Amino acid sequence: MIVNNQKKIRLKKNKISFSIITVSLNQKKIKNNFKSLMNQTYKNFEHIVIDGGSTDGTLDIIKKNSENLAFWSSEKDKGLYDAMNKGIKKSRGDIIAILNADDVYFKNALKTVKKYFEKNKIDFLFGTVKKDRVLQGFWPKKIKWKFNIYPSHSGGFFIRRKIHKKIGLYDLKYKYSADRDLIYRLIVTHKLNGMCTKKNEIISKFDTDGLSSKVGFITRIIEESKIRLNNKQNIFFVFFLIIIHSINKIINIFKIQ
């Protein structure tokens, strides 16, 4: 285990502050992540890196950039969401953001997000992201039957730290979908307020080779069904959703062929 507490980054108390949490594991693209944060036009943030025990040279890149980090560690963990939880526990900013190692912010990202939290009574925000195309929007009412209601988690999700304390951390029961469980709790269980940035206000570039792109249909639908059931959604309706989503998947497969 390697843990290195760096000098405390001074956060200005009279302005909105951010805690940017980056998780990594053998991801040398983190150098672009660091660069994107150095280029931010809004500077009142701290950067926390939680590494899962990289062995490919990623750790050397982290050490090289350590002077700009509020905290970093490198040790084996229980997965992506466990690392995120560790970062959240170390955070001190008003707003918590997740920016995975292979994702980057555009230079005005934090400046744009700050504006939304200043001008609106919101608990969380979804920023427009660029993946294989520009993804934008937020449709909370659709969560009753689908989880694809926001652009992305990493690089596009911002939440007040006090709200995280209220609703809890990422649930490690879900290996691939703990972010969807958190969003469900925000919207359905606690009925908190969120919104999205405009389409031309692109916050981040989301890597197309991330964990979410590698999850198979069956694994995803099982986890999503568990989220619904554990959050007390009607069992018969959940079963109905499994059937509908499965039929749509089969139809799409035949369309491709």
Listing DSSP states for 221-235 in one string gives: HHHHHHHHHHTT--H
Question: How is residue 185 written in tokens?
Answer: 């709790």
Instruction: Kindly tell me the sign of the dihedral angle through the C-alpha atoms of 66, 45, 101, 49.
Output: positive
pLDDT of residue 207 exceeding 90, the answer is no
Name residues whose C-beta falls within 8 Å of residue 3's C-beta, 6 or more positions apart in sequence.
73, 74, 75
Distance CA 195, CA 70 (A): 29
Lowest mean pLDDT among 27-41, 53-67, 149-163, 202-216: 202-216
Q: Coil, strand or helix: which one is 190?
A: coil
Q: Looking at residues 147-155, what average pLDDT do you find?
A: 93
Segment 59-65 shows an average pLDDT of: 95
CATH class of 2-207: alpha beta
pLDDT of 217 reads 86
